[in-house]
């Protein structure tokens, strides 16, 4: 490709972005006049059509990105459509949404305007469904910036949503996608005066750019999620859930467990259980081979393993594993950027740490979070509620998943948490919220308050002039003038000296 062709592509990408934002703004001005009933009918129809397309879009996503498992991406698409809809369908987002008659305060919902939605390659179609639904529910327009490796499937997902929305009466131009997937266009979009909010799901640099744009932004942090298997855990259940979770969509959900911490008292029994579930424990020599594949450069995970199967990864490392292998595990004792198994790998590759007691387990979990997962999530398998509550209080995470699959549990699939494909990490992870992002995060709440009490102001007995002494004011002014003269005199002398020396 010639330099001129690249240049032309960048210009086309910028023009596409500017046109999309302009049309989105025009359509949103119409859409924000819609009633709650009109909005709800549109959102319901979009959710239904998205749900129906879950399998087709899962196939497209795997084919284009070469990541994940079709059957699992189908589940994610269903969560991103049906489950998200069920969680937001009763939320009031138009007109007066609350009225406090006692305190005489009315709350009125108002949309942000045009939302820029940045979509990751790991969950391209489910995230597109999710962000579109919450934007439509809140009477916002949406401009989608897909990952360069997932443009086609993300566009297909958005096309499903757009066609359904317009069928249900939404104005044309409410949803757009930046098909050139230019980083320059995305960067310019973040600063565009008509973009009102950024929903950034992606890498750290992307989220930082969103926060630096000067616009309101919801970003996410990395999810180097530890899972602690405490000695009271039901090992049959825990081992199955952990291996199922780690192998779900080949580990592409950011809330997937990345390292197991197990009590020494149950180590042998637990290892037997996970081996029965398809875990392969590496020998020291095999672990060394795998480390080179995981992280060819210290602190950086090899993108070639992300979303790939355990058998594929083993083959790339030159390791022979049984056909039933679902997860690869390396025994580890250290945590650090130069320790590949301790990093967030986004693949079915685990580190396994042995802890002497709860305190040591807590310290290992803290080290893993400090390495690259503060504020995100932590998983725990235990029958001791006191330990679970202690971890929830002490650990710097926004989600504590107990006795469940962390990957699906954190996004609301197996827990009572809000269904979401964008998980805030709070101030622990440099985010503005620790919530599972949803529709309520995309509306402004205006308040009208009636007077409910009277205040009698005290009568003025002294003036400002009474508080200052005239001579003191003059002395202060003279001192200030003197300082200015002294500074000017000094600058004049320095200038003369420099001229004489030169």
pLDDT tens digit sequence for 93-102: 999 999 999 9
Tell me which residues are annotated as active site: 254
Largest CA distance in the chain: 94
| Domain ranges, ordered by start, for the chain | 10-220+438-448, 225-417
- Which residue has 């942090």 as its token pair? 221
**Is 70 exceeded by the pLDDT of residue 498?**
no
Lowest-confidence region among 118-122, 304-308, 407-411, 479-483:
479-483
Identify the pLDDT of residue 476: 67
Instruction: Give tens-digit pLDDT for 20-67.
Output: 999 999 999 999 999 999 999 999 999 999 999 999 999 999 999 999
Per-position b or e across 372-395, b if 16+ CB within 10 A of its CB:
bbbbbbbbbbbeeeebbeebeeeb
Q: How far apart are CA 67 and CA 73, in angstroms?
A: 10
The radius of gyration computed from the CA coordinates of the chain, to the nearest angstrom, equals 28
What string of DSSP letters covers 283-351? Answer: PHHHHHHHHHHH-SBTTB--GGGTT--HHHHHHHTT----TT--EEEEE----STT-GGGS--SSSEEE
For residue 220, the model assigns a pLDDT of 87
Model confidence band, residue 181 (pLDDT cutoffs 50, 70, 90):
confident
* Other residues' Cβ atoms within 10 Å of the Cβ of residue 454: 5
Band (pLDDT 50/70/90 cuts) for residue 460 is confident
pTM: 0.89
The mean pLDDT value for 173-187 works out to 93
Per-residue confidence band for 182, with pLDDT thresholds at 50, 70 and 90: confident
Q: How far apart (Å, rounded) are the C-alpha atoms in residues 14 and 20?
A: 10
The correct CATH number of 225-417 out of 3.40.50.300, 3.40.228.10, 3.40.50.720, 3.40.309.10 is 3.40.309.10
Does pLDDT of 468 surpass 80?
no
- pLDDT category at 470 given cuts 50, 70, 90 is low
Query: Is residue 469 over pLDDT 70?
Result: no
SS (H, E, C) 421-456: CCECCCHHHCCCCCCECCHHHHEEEEEEECCCCCCC
Residue 233 CB coordination number (10 Å):
22
Query: How does residue 315 score in pLDDT terms, banded at 50, 70 and 90?
Result: very high
Q: Please give the pLDDT value at position 8.
A: 81
What's the mean pLDDT in 316-340?
A: 97
Give 386's contacts (C-beta < 8 A, 6+ positions apart).
none
Give the residue among 125, 120, 122 at the shortest CA–CA distance from 59: 125
- Cα–Cα nearest to 113, from 202, 193, 206, 212: 193
Instruction: Point out which residues pair with 199 in neighbouring strands.
Output: 117, 218
In DSSP notation, 46-111 reads HHHHHHHTHHHHHHHHHHHH--S-HHHHHHHHHIIIIIHHHHHTT---SEEEEEETTTTEEEEEEE
Contacts of residue 258, defined as CB under 8 A and 6 or more positions apart, other chains included, come to 223, 224, 225, 226, 343, 344, 345, 350, 351, 368, 373
Which residues are registered as beta bridge partners of 329? 281, 350
> Would the pLDDT of 221 be above 80?
yes
Q: Would you tell me which CATH number, out of the four given (2.50.20.10, 3.40.50.300, 3.40.605.10, 3.30.420.40), belongs to the domain 10-220+438-448?
A: 3.40.605.10
Tell whether the model's pLDDT for residue 170 goes beyond 90: yes
The pLDDT of residue 269 is: 98
The token duo for 236 is: 């049959």
Mean pLDDT of 102-122: 97
- Helices 235-247, 267-276: axis angle to 10 degrees equals 50
Q: Which residues pair with 259 in a beta bridge?
A: 226, 351
Q: Tell me how many degrees the CA angle 103-106-111 measures, rounded to the nearest 5.
A: 150
User: What distance in Å separates the CA atoms of residue 253 and residue 256, rounded to the nearest whole number?
Assistant: 6
DSSP class of 179 = T
Three-state secondary structure call for residue 240: helix
Euclidean distance between CA atoms 154 and 477, whole angstroms = 67
Q: How would residue 13 be classed by pLDDT, with cut points 50, 70 and 90?
A: very high
pLDDT bracket for residue 478 (50, 70, 90) = confident
User: 166 pLDDT exceeds 70?
Assistant: yes
* Confidence at residue 124, expressed as pLDDT on a 0 to 100 scale: 97
The first and second tokens of residue 480, run together, are 């200030």
């Amino acid at each position: 490709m010639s330099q001129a062709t690249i240049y032309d592509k960048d210009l086309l990408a910028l023009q596409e972005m500017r046109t999309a934002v302009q049309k989105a703004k025009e359509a949103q001005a119409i859409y924000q006049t819609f009633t709650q009933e009109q909005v709800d009918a549109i959102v319901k129809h979009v959710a239904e059509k998205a749900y129906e397309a879950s399998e087709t879009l899962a196939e497209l996503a795997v084919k284009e990105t070469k990541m994940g498992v079709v059957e699992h991406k189908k589940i994610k698409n269903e969560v991103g459509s049906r489950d998200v809809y069920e969680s937001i369908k009763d939320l009031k987002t138009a007109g007066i949404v609350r009225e406090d008659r006692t305190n005489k305060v009315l709350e009125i919902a108002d949309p942000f305007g045009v939302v820029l939605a940045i979509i990751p390659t790991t969950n391209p179609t489910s995230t597109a469904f999710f962000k579109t639904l919450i934007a439509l529910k809140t009477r916002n327009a949406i401009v989608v910036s897909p990952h360069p490796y997932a443009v086609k499937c993300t566009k297909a997902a958005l096309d499903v949503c757009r066609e359904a929305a317009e069928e249900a009466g939404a104005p044309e131009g409410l949803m757009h996608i930046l098909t050139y997937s230019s980083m320059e266009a995305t960067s310019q979009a973040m600063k565009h005066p008509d973009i009102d909010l950024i929903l950034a799901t992606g890498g750290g640099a992307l989220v930082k750019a969103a926060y630096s744009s000067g616009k309101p932004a919801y970003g996410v942090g990395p999810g180097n999620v530890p899972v602690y298997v405490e000695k009271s855990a039901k090992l049959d259940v825990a081992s199955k859930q952990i291996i199922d979770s780690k192998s779900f969509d080949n580990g592409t959900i950011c809330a997937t467990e990345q390292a197991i911490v197990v009590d020494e008292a149950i180590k042998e029994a637990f290892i037997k259980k996970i081996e029965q579930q398809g875990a392969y424990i590496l020998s020291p020599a095999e672990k060394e081979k795998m480390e080179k594949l995981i992280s060819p450069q210290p602190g950086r995970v090899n993108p070639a393993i992300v979303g790939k199967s355990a058998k594929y990864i083993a083959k790339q490392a030159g390791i022979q594993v049984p056909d039933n292998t679902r997860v690869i595990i390396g025994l580890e004792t250290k945590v650090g950027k130069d320790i590949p198994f301790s990093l967030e790998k986004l693949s079915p590759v685990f580190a396994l740490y042995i802890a002497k007691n709860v305190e040591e387990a807590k310290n290992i979990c803290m080290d893993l979070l400090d390495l690259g997962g503060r504020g995100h999530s932590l998983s725990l398998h235990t029958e001791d509620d006191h330990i679970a509550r202690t971890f929830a209080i002490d650990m710097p995470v926004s989600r504590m998943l107990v006795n469940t699959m962390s990957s699906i549990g954190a996004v609301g699939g197996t827990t009572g948490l809000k269904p979401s494909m964008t998980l805030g990490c709070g101030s622990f992870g440099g985010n503005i919220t620790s919530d599972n992002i949803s529709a309520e995060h995309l509306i402004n709440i205006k308040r009208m308050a009636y007077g409910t009490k009277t205040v009698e102001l005290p009568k003025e007995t002294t003036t400002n002039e009474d508080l200052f002494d005239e001579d003191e004011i003059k002395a202060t002014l003279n001192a200030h003038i003197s300082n200015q003269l002294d500074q000017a005199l000094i600058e004049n002398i320095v200038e003369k000296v420099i001229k004489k020396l030169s």
